[in-house]
Amino acid sequence: MSNSLVISIDAMGGDHGPAVAAPGVALAIERLGARAPRFLLHGDAAKIEAELSKLGAARALCEVRHTDKVVASNEKPAHAVRRGKGSSLWNAVESVRQGEARAVVSSGNTGALMAISKLQLRMLSGLDRPAIVATWPTLKGVSAVLDVGANVSSDAAQLVEFAIMGAAFHRAVHGAKKPTVGLLNVGSEEQKGHEEVREAHRLLREVGLDLDYRGFVEGDDIAKGTVDVVVTDGFTGNIALKTAEGTARFVRQALKDAFTSSLQAKLGALIAAPALRKMRDRLDTSLVNGGPLLGLGGIVVKSHGGTDARGFANAIKVALDLANSDYDKQIVRQMKQLAAVLPDAAEPAASEIAR
């Protein structure tokens, strides 16, 4: 491989493995043009090469590292850590740890990816837990929502850490100079919410971090785009994310059923086709696919397991944007500022990784 930027790919992860990973790499190369990185693809060489043979010129930017070992989609994180060494997922992350690649992208088992990445890459200085961030379509563009599944629960100091990480992510990937930040709660009043949320709210207002904190936001504020970064624990965030995904599928299916219910409806659909395509694109999850595991000592991006090549290419773009930024330095700088005011916030606590 040359000395140019390299992205490591777990080509065996997800529902479709190389059949999506390889075309996703090719599409990313096509979209990025001269800015395209090189790629290390880990997994069954025969299967990967069969897909790469269809890619034409993009093949020149790809190197295959063979392994016949794969972490199963239903494998528990602890088991994946014990037995996963040498797997496509393990090797893809190891390439980042060894400095061969700048970032890793995988559609594989989320819990296993989290556990293996944390074991190999450790955490950035001062941080306790990683968080998964989702890019969320809103009426104003997109927002970053975290945590959406890495941690079952989070205390006040950890929620403040998520705010720091989310703002750095949004700045790096979506270009906001000073992203606005809100804390998800059941109401906007000061007395609402459980103790940890209220304490995190107090800290974000009083510790003097370089964040544009706007206070509490509610569930409907996410889609409104009230703030750029929405902070919550992984339990709540994951439920919100899955609810939004299910609602989007329901709306698409309801529209399809309505516009195919009669001849008049079909004629109406023909007239409304441009507007319907625009709406479909706004609800297309592949356009926002790619959730980084923030806080690790290396860039790890989780792609949805059932995504298509377009979605996988978008996850690669997220990894590249982070690789070309200094978001990790911004996080470390803010954490030093937080530790100076709140020393206990930098002391590691036992993590409870969502399985």
Q: What is the pLDDT of residues 2-15, one digit of tens each?
A: 448 999 999 999 99
Residue 212 has a pLDDT of: 94
Report residues of the chain scoring pLDDT below 50: 1-3, 346-355
From 86, 121, 156, the end of a domain falls on: 121
Assign residue 194 the CATH number of its domain. 3.40.718.10
- Residues contacting 132, CB < 8 A, separation 6+: 110, 114, 146, 147, 148, 149, 150, 234, 291, 292, 293, 294, 302
31 and 23 Cβ atoms separated by less than 8 Å: no
- Distance separating the N- and C-terminal Cα atoms of the chain: 36
Residue 221 has a pLDDT of: 94
CA atoms within 13 A on the CB side of 7: 32
From 73, 94, 121, the end of a domain falls on: 121
In a domain, 308, yes or no: no
Do residues 108 and 153 both lie within one domain? no
Do residues 142 and 266 both lie within one domain? yes
What's the pTM?
0.86
Residue 345 has a pLDDT of: 54
From 69, 96, 121, the end of a domain falls on: 121
Residue 355 has a pLDDT of: 33
Do residues 94 and 130 both lie within one domain? no
Separation of alpha carbons 172 and 321, rounded Å = 7
Structural domains counted in the chain: 2
In a domain, 89, yes or no: yes
Do residues 212 and 90 both lie within one domain? no
In a domain, 302, yes or no: no
Do residues 129 and 97 both lie within one domain? no
In a domain, 225, yes or no: yes
Closest CA to 135 of 214, 232, 230: 230
Do residues 187 and 268 both lie within one domain? yes
Do residues 236 and 354 both lie within one domain? yes
Residue 343 has a pLDDT of: 61
